[in-house]
A and B are shown apart, each in its own frame.
Chain A
Amino acid sequence: MDDRLNVRTMVDAKKGKIKPAIYTDPDIYQLELERVFARSWLFLAHESMIPKAGDFFTTYMGEDPIVVVRQKDGSIEAFLNQCRHRGMRLCHADGGNTKAFTCAYHGWAYGLDGGLTSVPLEEQAYRNKLDKSRWGLTRVPRVSTYKGLVFGNWDNEAPDLETYMGDIAWYLDGFLDRRDGGTEVLGGVHKWVIECNWKFAAEQFCSDQYHAPYTHASAIQVLQASPANKGDGKPLGDGQTPRPVWADALGGVQFGGNGHGSAFFFTEKPDANVWVDGVVSAYFRDTYAEAEARLGKVRALRLAGHNTMFPTLSWLNGTQTLRVWHPRGPNQIEVWAFCICDRDAPVEVKDALIKSHARAFGPAGFLEQDDSENWVEVQKVLQGHMARKTDFCVQMGLGFEERRDDGIPGVTNYTFAETAARGFYQHWADMMSAESWEEINALSAAYQKELVHE
Chain B
Amino acid sequence: MARVHVCSVADLPPGEGRRVDTTPAIALFNVDGEFYAVADMCTHATASISEGYLEDDCSVECPIHTARFCLKTGAALCLPATEPLQTFAVSVEDGEVYVEVAQGEGA
Query: Residues of A with Cβ closer than 8 Å to B?
Result: 99-100, 102, 107, 109, 117-122
Does A120 contact B44, Cβ atoms closer than 8 Å? yes
Smallest distance from the beta carbon of B8 to chain A beta carbons, Å?
24
Query: Residues of B with Cβ closer than 8 Å to A?
Result: 44-47, 51, 63-66, 80
Does A120 contact B63, Cβ atoms closer than 8 Å? no
Instruction: Name the one of B45, B51, B66 contacting A120, with C-beta atoms under 8 angstroms.
Output: B45
- In the complex the two chains form, what is the Cα distance from A102 to B46 in whole Å? 12
23 CB contacts below 8 A, A to B, read A100-B47, A100-B63, A100-B64, A102-B64, A102-B65, A102-B66, A107-B45, A107-B64, A107-B65, A109-B45, A109-B46, A109-B64, A109-B65, A117-B46, A117-B64, A118-B45, A118-B46, A118-B47, A118-B65, A119-B45, A119-B46, A120-B65, A121-B45
A99-B63, A102-B65, A120-B65 known; A109+B47 contact, CB < 8 A: yes
With A99-B51, A102-B64, A119-B45 given, can you name 4 additional A-B contacts, CB distance below 8 Å?
A: A100-B51, A109-B45, A118-B45, A122-B46
B45: nearest residue on chain A (CB-CB)? A120
Most chain A CB atoms below 10 A, which of B51, B63, B64: B64
Residues of B within 8 A of A122 (CB): 45-46
Residues of A within 8 A of B51 (CB): 99-100
Smallest distance from the beta carbon of B105 to chain A beta carbons, Å?
22
Smallest distance from the beta carbon of A89 to chain B beta carbons, Å?
17
- In the complex the two chains form, what is the Cα distance from A404 to B63 in whole Å? 58
- In the complex the two chains form, what is the Cα distance from A109 to B44 in whole Å? 13
- In the complex the two chains form, what is the Cα distance from A107 to B67 in whole Å? 12
Residues of B within 8 A of A99 (CB): 51, 63
Smallest distance from the beta carbon of B43 to chain A beta carbons, Å?
12
- In the complex the two chains form, what is the Cα distance from A117 to B51 in whole Å? 14
Smallest distance from the beta carbon of A263 to chain B beta carbons, Å?
50
Closest 8 CB pairs of A and B: A118-B46, A109-B64, A120-B45, A99-B63, A99-B51, A118-B64, A118-B45, A107-B65
Residues of A within 8 A of B45 (CB): 107, 109, 118-122
Residues of B within 8 A of A118 (CB): 45-47, 64-65
- In the complex the two chains form, what is the Cα distance from A144 to B51 in whole Å? 30
Residues of B within 8 A of A109 (CB): 45-47, 64-65
- In the complex the two chains form, what is the Cα distance from A328 to B104 in whole Å? 61
- In the complex the two chains form, what is the Cα distance from A102 to B63 in whole Å? 9
Smallest distance from the beta carbon of A409 to chain B beta carbons, Å?
49
- In the complex the two chains form, what is the Cα distance from A452 to B45 in whole Å? 65
Residues of A within 8 A of B47 (CB): 100, 109, 118
Residues of B within 8 A of A121 (CB): 45
Smallest distance from the beta carbon of B16 to chain A beta carbons, Å?
13
- In the complex the two chains form, what is the Cα distance from A122 to B47 in whole Å? 12
Residues of A within 8 A of B66 (CB): 102
- In the complex the two chains form, what is the Cα distance from A105 to B66 in whole Å? 14
- In the complex the two chains form, what is the Cα distance from A85 to B63 in whole Å? 20
Residues of B within 8 A of A117 (CB): 46, 64
- In the complex the two chains form, what is the Cα distance from A107 to B81 in whole Å? 13
Smallest distance from the beta carbon of B54 to chain A beta carbons, Å?
13
- In the complex the two chains form, what is the Cα distance from A102 to B80 in whole Å? 13
- In the complex the two chains form, what is the Cα distance from A109 to B65 in whole Å? 8
- In the complex the two chains form, what is the Cα distance from A185 to B44 in whole Å? 40
- In the complex the two chains form, what is the Cα distance from A17 to B61 in whole Å? 61
- In the complex the two chains form, what is the Cα distance from A148 to B75 in whole Å? 46
